[in-house]
C-alpha cells in the first residue's frame, strides 16, 4: 500500500490478483492467456461472430471523484460497456481494462474500485483478460468488451421498418433522478441509497437481449445510454425511418409531490435522462404477440411506432405533436 514503492509492475500484479477469481471462475478454457503478456489470447466459438465495443468512463465527465463511491465506478465502467453487447443480443466473453490514475489513488480507492469491478465481472460472467495502466492526475478508464453471438443473429440499429412497433424495457428516468440527487448531496453518497441504485449500479439487460434476438422477434435494437430523445433518433437515422412516441405510454417514474415541486418532471427525466441502459427495440406488427408484458420481472412497453416520414415525433395526450429534439447527454453540444 506504500505509494512510493508502487511501480507499474506491482500495480499490474494487484489488478491481476484481483481479477484472478473472475478469470478462473468462468469458462477457464476460453483463454489461453490472461493478463500479463503482450496481449490476451481468446478462443472464439465456432459459428459465432465476435462483438467488439469500447467505452470511456472519465472523471469529471462520467463520474465525480468526490461523489461517486469507488466501488460504483468499478461496477459501472464494466456494466455500461456490457450494455452495448446486450443491445446486440450477444453474450460477453471477456474485457480489457485501461486504467490511468494518480499515485494517491493506488491504495484504498483502487481496492474498492477493483471490488466493484470484480462483482460486475462475476455477475455478468465476463472475466478480465488484459489491459494497460498508467499514471495520470485525473482518473481515466476505458473498457473494451468482447462478446459473441451466433453468426447472423445480432440485432442492429438499422433494421426498423415503417409500421414496426417501438418497445422499451423497464422504466426511464431513474438513473437521471439518482444523478441529480447525488449532485445535490454534499459528500460521497452511500452506494446503498435506494434512489441511487440504478445510477450507480446499472444492470445491462444481457439475458433479455439474448432472448429477443434468439426468438428473432426484434427488427432493430439499441440501449438507451444518453436518453430516449437522443437515442431514438439514432435508431431512426440508421434505419432511415421516423417514429412517433406516445408520451402517455412511456413508462415513467412515480415521483413524490415534494420531488415534483423541486422541479423533477418524470417525462423530462425519461426523455433527457441518460444512463438507464434500458433496451429500445422494434418489432413487426405480426410479431407483437411474441413480446410478453414482462420478461423476468422487467416490463416491456410498446411506446409508439415506426413511420415512413423520417421525423421523430412526440405525440402528447392532448393530441398535439412536436418534434422530439435530442436533449440527452452529448459531450460536444454547446461548447
Within 224-243, which residues bind a second copy (CB under 8 A)? 234, 238
Confirm or reject binding of residue 85 to a second copy (CB under 8 A). yes
Asked if 301 and 249 touch (Cβ cutoff 8 Å), the reply is yes
Q: Which of 100, 207, 255, 298 binds a second copy (CB under 8 A)?
A: 100
Nearest to 160 by CA among 310, 327, 319: 310
Nearer to a second copy, 96 or 200 (CB): 96
Asked if 82 and 92 touch (Cβ cutoff 8 Å), the reply is yes
Instruction: Give min distance, CB of 260 to a second copy, in A.
Output: 31
Nearer to a second copy, 43 or 290 (CB): 43
Nearer to a second copy, 24 or 330 (CB): 330
In whole angstroms, give the CA distance from residue 166 to residue 173: 18
Asked if 301 and 167 touch (Cβ cutoff 8 Å), the reply is yes
The beta-strand segments (E) located in 102-154 are: 128-135, 140-150
Residue whose C-alpha cell reads 430516449 in the numeric block: 228
Confirm or reject binding of residue 182 to a second copy (CB under 8 A). no
Across the chain, which distance is largest between two alpha carbons, in Å? 67
Size of the site for a second copy (CB under 8 A): 74
Nearest to 251 by CA among 282, 273, 220: 273
Nearer to a second copy, 202 or 266 (CB): 202
Characterise 115 by phi-psi region: left (phi > 0), alpha (psi -120 to 50), beta (else). Answer: alpha
Instruction: Give min distance, CB of 297 to a second copy, in A.
Output: 24
Nearer to a second copy, 224 or 253 (CB): 224
In whole angstroms, give the CA distance from residue 74 to residue 77: 6
Confirm or reject binding of residue 22 to a second copy (CB under 8 A). no
Q: Which of 23, 78, 96, 314 binds a second copy (CB under 8 A)?
A: 96
Instruction: Give min distance, CB of 2 to a second copy, in A.
Output: 10
Q: State in Å, rounded, how far the first CA of the chain is from the last one.
A: 41
Q: Which of 20, 26, 144, 188 binds a second copy (CB under 8 A)?
A: 144
Instruction: Give min distance, CB of 96 to a second copy, in A.
Output: 5
Instruction: Give min distance, CB of 212 to a second copy, in A.
Output: 14
Amino acid at each position: 500500500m506504500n505509494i512510493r514503492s508502487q511501480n507499474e509492475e506491482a500495480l499490474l500484479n494487484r489488478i491481476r490478483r484481483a481479477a484472478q477469481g473472475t478469470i478462473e471462475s468462468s469458462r477457464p478454457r476460453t483463454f489461453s492467456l490472461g493478463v500479463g503478456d503482450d496481449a490476451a489470447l481468446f478462443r472464439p466459438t465456432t459459428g459465432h461472430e465476435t462483438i467488439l465495443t469500447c467505452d470511456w468512463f472519465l472523471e469529471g465527465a462520467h463520474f465525480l471523484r468526490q461523489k461517486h463511491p469507488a466501488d460504483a465506478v468499478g461496477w459501472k465502467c464494466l456494466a455500461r460497456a456490457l450494455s452495448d453487447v446486450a443491445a446486440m443480443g450477444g453474450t460477453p466473453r471477456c474485457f480489457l481494462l485501461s486504467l490511468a490514475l494518480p499515485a494517491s489513488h493506488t491504495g484504498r480507492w483502487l481496492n474498492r474500485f477493483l471490488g466493484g469491478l470484480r462483482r460486475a465481472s462475476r455477475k455478468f460472467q465476463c472475466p478480465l483478460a488484459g489491459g494497460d495502466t498508467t499514471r495520470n492526475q485525473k482518473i481515466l478508464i476505458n473498457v473494451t468488451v468482447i462478446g459473441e453471438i451466433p453468426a447472423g443473429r445480432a440485432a442492429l440499429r438499422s433494421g426498423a421498418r415503417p409500421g414496426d412497433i417501438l418497445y422499451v424495457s423497464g422504466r426511464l428516468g431513474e438513473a437521471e433522478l439518482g444523478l441529480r440527487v447525488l449532485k445535490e448531496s454534499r459528500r460521497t453518497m452511500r452506494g446503498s441509497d435506494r434512489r441511487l441504485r440504478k445510477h450507480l449500479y446499472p444492470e445491462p439487460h444481457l439475458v433479455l437481449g439474448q432472448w429477443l434476438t434468439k426468438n428473432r422477434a426484434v427488427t432493430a435494437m439499441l440501449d438507451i445510454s444518453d436518453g430516449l430523445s437522443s437515442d431514438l433518433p439514432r435508431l431512426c437515422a440508421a434505419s432511415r425511418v421516423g417514429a412517433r412516441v406516445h408520451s402517455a405510454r412511456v413508462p415513467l417514474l412515480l415521483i413524490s409531490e415534494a420531488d415534483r415541486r423541486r422541479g423533477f418532471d418524470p417525462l423530462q427525466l425519461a426523455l433527457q435522462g441518460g444512463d438507464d441502459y434500458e433496451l429500445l427495440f422494434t418489432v413487426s406488427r405480426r410479431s407483437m404477440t411474441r413480446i410478453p408484458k414482462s420478461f423476468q420481472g422487467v416490463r416491456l412497453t410498446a411506446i409508439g411506432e415506426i413511420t415512413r416520414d423520417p421525423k421523430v415525433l412526440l405525440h402528447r395526450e392532448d393530441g398535439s405533436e412536436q418534434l422530439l429534439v435530442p436533449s440527452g447527454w452529448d459531450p460536444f453540444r454547446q461548447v
